[in-house]
Structure 1
Amino acid sequence: MAVRLFEGKDHAASYLQYRVAPQELISKIMDYMKKKTQNQFKLAVDVGCGSGQGTILLAPYFTTVVGTDISPAQLEAASANSRPPNVSYRECPAEELPFAAGEVDLVTAMTAAHWFDRPRFLQEADRVLRSGGCLALLSYSLSMTLEYGDVSDALNDICKEFYAALIPYRSPYLGPSSMNIYLDMFNSCTYQDKEWNECLHVKRTLPLRGYIGMVKTFSNYQKLKEKDPAEAERLSNDIQNKLLSAMKASSPDTEVTMVVHYFYWLACKP
């Protein structure tokens, strides 16, 4: 990996607890694969798998699923979590996958490829994919929105305040836009058979504290926390209190609908 993050045990535990498992995106990937390949679903590799929420969603479709990550803490969290018997995990860089050339049916990276050495990763994905195998990269923007009764607009003004406070702590490696990173990777992929999808809304009903917890797992919040733990905690508490006030609610266990804005691309190796 070009950048190493999310490696502390506490962060890995929060990642497992709060990050969204994108079942809707798995359905899109599998619909694409079924159109492109002849029921060859033996081995799927989920690169940068973190604590494995997305990895296990591939289990019903493949004989074997392997999640890879460079972080021992993330893999420990993934291994400790309940998983199907055909799912396992390997520690390795995204750019050095422990698979033979042409061995893999699907290579995916879920909200991780922006941290890779991207040209090297694309070369490595091409090496391990079989002819007719598929590559699927997906991520989402930080600008999640909230829905709650007739105060959704007010909530989202507060959310924007949260995101704006974190902008100074964004990694320079990411540049101004994660979506542009994925679009650049899409354009540099030499496969002719490929699809770019800019917006898929994934909705989850969860306690308000779950939304706050998810934002706190992001790298820019973690950077603020590393620099000034008291300020990070003050910011998240202030945002939570403002949201509760707008909702006229007293408990952070009050449920809201969080809307996550995904973008993704799919490609089939000739």
Structure 2
Amino acid sequence: MAYRLFEGKKHASSYWKHRISPSDELIRQMLDFLEKRKGHPFELAVDVCCGSGQGTVRLAKHFASVVGTDVSPAQVEVALENAKEPNITYRQCVAEELPLADSSVDLVTAMSAFHWFDRPRFLHEAHRVLKPNGCLALINYTVNMELSYPDCCSDTLNQVCKEFYAALEPYRSPHLGPSSMELYREAYESIPYPDKDWQECVWVKRPMPLSSYMGLVETFSSYQALLREDPQKATTLSQDICQRLMSVMRVTSVETEVVVAVKYFYLLACKPQEA
């Protein structure tokens, strides 16, 4: 069973504004894996459950064409509103039924989305559309991000962050289990391809305003679940956490820049030539 979330226009717009896409380093690791197995040219990439398209645009300069797909009309609408690259197209469809021909795709990606899919059906569908020696890349990051700010005790700062994550934990979807990483690890073990790679700890640091960090956490499914159940409680929680973070940092502006460390994990797999 696939789970349908993040579909409203307001949430889609927030996705575009606050959601992070994989770093250049992660994109490069994905492309290096593909280049060593298949080689150039890179003709077609498909970014499945692309949301508002942040990850999709990162692929555009490396492929002749890129297709971003999402089940949500609102997400596709926001992606189209922000589309500038002429070689990207967006399609509304479910992840398990891609509107693509057999053996037509060089790279299938799903960035921070695979855990919501009907995973066996999606893996079967990815196998169908991939060319021989084409590659599958499933990327995600953990919720427990870490902040740093000059002349500020990181332990104290991140204790506040941990309290934020802990307050959202009761609203986490039971579908995800204790850790979404385990869902990806299970997929890695189930994929029958002999040539595959698993990495579970790749830290990426990126500067952003404190307001963007707060906005990012507010896009998470657990915060959105709390927001639906009790809007006042959700808003008060976010405002309280933000004020406490500013107090620890000894700043007065929510636009103050912090460094956010994000822990990524991913699996890469190459469809065999004989498949």
With the shorter chain as reference, the TM-score category is over 0.9
Say whether the 8 Å CA contact 1:40–1:105 is kept in structure 2: no
| 1:120 partner letter | R
Instruction: Tell me the amino acid that sits aligned with residue 240 of structure 1.
Output: C
Contact 1:109 1:137 in 2 (8 A): yes
Task: Give secondary structure in 1 for the equivalent of 2:262.
Answer: strand
Structure 2 residue aligned with 1:68: 69
Give how far 1:82 is off.
3.5
Distance 1:53 1:38 in 2: 25
**Which is further off, 146-155 or 96-105?**
146-155
Alpha-carbon deviation of 1:27?
Answer: 1.1
Aligned partners of 1:61, 1:164: CA distance in 2, in Å? 39
Deviation string, structure 1 residues 202-230 (Cα, Å, up to 9, x no partner): 11111101100000000000000000000
Whether the aligned pair in 2 keeps the contact of 1:169 and 1:220 (CA below 8 Å) is yes
2:118 alignment counterpart: 117
- How far residue 187 of structure 1 moved from its aligned partner, in angstroms, is 0.6
Match of 1:182 among 184, 187, 205: 184
Tell me how large the CA RMSD over aligned residues is. Answer: 0.8
The letter of the residue matching 2:174 is P
| Match of residue 229, structure 2, among 206, 221, 227 | 227
Tell me the CA shift for residue 102 of structure 1.
0.3
1:108 aligns with 2:112: no
Deviation, structure 1 residue 61: 1.0
Runs of 4+ in 1 over 4 A off after TM superposition: none
Q: What SS class does the counterpart of residue 2 from structure 2 fall into?
A: coil
**2:191 maps to amino acid:** C
AA matched with 2:3: V
- What secondary structure, in the 3-state scheme, does the structure 1 residue paired with 2:187 have? helix
**Shift in Å at residue 180 of structure 1?**
0.4
SS in 1 for 2:61: helix
- Aligned ranges 1:143-162 → 2 under 5 Å: 143-149=144-150, 150-162=152-164
Residue of structure 1 in register with 2:92 after alignment: 91
Aligned ranges for residues 1-270 of structure 1 at < 5 Å? 2-22=2-22, 23-149=24-150, 150-270=152-272
Query: Could you tell me how far 1:40 is from its partner in structure 2?
Result: 3.4
**TM-score if structure 2 supplies the norm length?**
0.97
Structure 2, unaligned stretches of length 5 or more? none
Q: Any idea what the Cα deviations from partners look like across 1:153-183, whole Å, max 9, x if unmatched?
A: 1110000000000000001111110100110
Q: In structure 2, how many angstroms separate the alpha carbons of the residues matched to 1:206 and 1:38?
A: 35
Per-residue deviation, 1:83: 2.5
Q: CA deviation at 1:38?
A: 2.5
Are the aligned partners of 1:12 and 1:77 in contact in 2 as well (CA < 8 Å)? yes
Q: Give 1:126 shift.
A: 0.2
Q: Is the 8 A contact 1:193 1:267 kept in 2?
A: yes
Aligned with 1:12: secondary structure?
helix
Cα separation, 2, equivalents of 1:217 and 1:38: 37
Give the secondary-structure state (helix, strand or coil) at the position aligned to 2:164: helix
Q: Kindly indicate whether the alpha-carbon contact (under 8 Å) linking 1:148 and 1:247 is maintained by their aligned counterparts in 2.
A: yes
The amino acid that maps onto 2:143 is L
> In structure 1, what is the Cα distance between the partners aligned to 2:253 and 2:153?
16
Counterpart amino acid of residue 19 in structure 1: R
1:69 and 1:215 map into 2 onto residues whose CA distance is: 21
CA–CA separation in structure 2 for the residues paired with 1:79 and 1:70: 14
Alpha-carbon distance in structure 2 between the residues aligned to 1:204 and 1:143 = 15
For 1:258, the aligned partner's letter is V
Q: Distance in 1 between matches of 2:29 and 2:19?
A: 19
Normalising by structure 1, report the TM-score: 0.98
Shift of 1:60: 1.0
| Residue identity matched to 1:94 | A
Unaligned runs of 5+ in 1: none
Give aligned pairs, total.
270
